């Protein structure tokens, strides 16, 4: 079997009777499978670091807000109903492990923010409180597969090569965004109001974060399809080089 295995992070609901619940939206799974890979779900448990060692790529999914303590801040608009310190800690551990193993990583929405936090960056906790004059609605009311605004992509970036264009129509479901750029990363796309929409680490083969939700656009967006295809191809090459079975838990 030549299909790469993609480890996929999961959301966590802490406020569930009996026990916390880990879950994932099916569109992430369908996007991974559609691009030619097999997903391995990574629950928010320490044993998932061992699972990650069997993977060829890491997909960091969207979800609730990061606890501002994780990036050295206090509350300035965080939605604490969606905060899970357990998930925060696990995703940061996944990222550190993937970096040690030189594993391809794609972060989506919260996943892009996770890359930022892991690299010492910070987050805007509530865009409407910071960008009072922005004409954009970053948490759209339209359906998830409906693009609602443009992002401008740096032309020589990896993100531009993946998407195949310098201006891309995207959807938007977030009220937080990257503020301070993490160590080793560059900004490779912004919304028209200046909000950071994509980052990448140019010293890594594939370590990319996008603020929108391409998994919901793959049915009608060639750019979204190309993004997942590029991620899966990088993961396939990682597998072919024999880099799997690294040291995720050490």
Of 8, 3, 111, give the one whose Cα is nearest residue 52: 8
The whole-number average pLDDT for the span 27-42 is 98
Strand pairing partners for 152? 167, 190
Q: Where are the alpha helices (DSSP H) in the chain?
A: 26-34, 48-52, 85-100, 110-118, 127-130, 158-163, 222-240
Rounded to two decimals, the pTM is 0.96
The answer on pLDDT for 243 being more than 80 is no
Could you tell me how many residues make up the chain?
250
Question: Based on the number of CB atoms within 10 Å of its own CB, is 200 exposed (0-12), middle (13-18) or buried (19 or more)?
Answer: buried
The answer on pLDDT for 1 being more than 70 is no
- Domain annotation for the chain: domains and CATH numbers: 5-240 (3.40.50.880)
Strand pairing partners for 106? 59, 208
Contact call for residues 45 and 98 (beta carbons, < 8 A): no
Question: Residue 95 — very low, low, confident or very high, per pLDDT cuts 50/70/90?
Answer: very high
The answer on pLDDT for 230 being more than 60 is yes
Q: Is 164 helix (H, G, I), strand (E, B) or coil?
A: coil
Lowest mean pLDDT among 38-42, 115-119, 131-135, 219-223: 131-135
The answer on pLDDT for 183 being more than 80 is yes
Whole-number mean pLDDT of the chain?
Answer: 95
**What does the angle CA 206 – CA 125 – CA 185 come to, to the nearest 5 degrees?**
25
Q: Is 153 helix (H, G, I), strand (E, B) or coil?
A: strand
pLDDT at 242: 86
């Amino acid at each position: 079997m030549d299909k790469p295995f993609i480890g996929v992070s999961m959301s966590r609901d802490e406020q569930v009777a009996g026990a916390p619940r880990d879950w994932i939206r099916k569109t992430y799974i369908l996007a991974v499978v559609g691009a030619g890979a097999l997903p391995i779900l990574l629950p928010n448990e320490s044993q998932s670091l061992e699972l990650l060692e069997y993977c060829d790529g890491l997909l960091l999914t969207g979800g609730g807000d990061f606890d501002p303590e994780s990036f050295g801040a206090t509350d300035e608009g965080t939605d604490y109903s969606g905060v899970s310190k357990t998930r925060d800690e696990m995703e940061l551990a996944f990222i550190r492990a993937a970096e040690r193993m030189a594993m391809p990583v794609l972060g989506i929405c919260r996943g892009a923010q996770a890359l930022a936090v892991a690299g010492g960056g910070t987050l805007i906790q509530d865009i409407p409180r910071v960008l009072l004059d922005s004409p954009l609605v970053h948490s759209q009311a339209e359906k998830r597969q409906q693009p609602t605004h443009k992002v401008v992509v740096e032309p020589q970036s990896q993100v531009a090569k993946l998407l195949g264009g310098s201006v891309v129509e995207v959807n938007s479901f977030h009220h937080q965004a990257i503020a301070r750029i993490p160590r080793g990363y560059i900004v490779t796309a912004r919304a028209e109001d200046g909000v950071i929409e994509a980052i990448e680490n140019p010293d890594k083969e594939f370590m990319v974060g996008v603020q929108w939700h391409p998994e919901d656009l793959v049915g009608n967006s060639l750019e979204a399809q190309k993004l997942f295809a590029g991620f899966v191809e990088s993961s396939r090459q990682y597998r072919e080089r024999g880099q799997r079975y690294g040291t995720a838990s050490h």
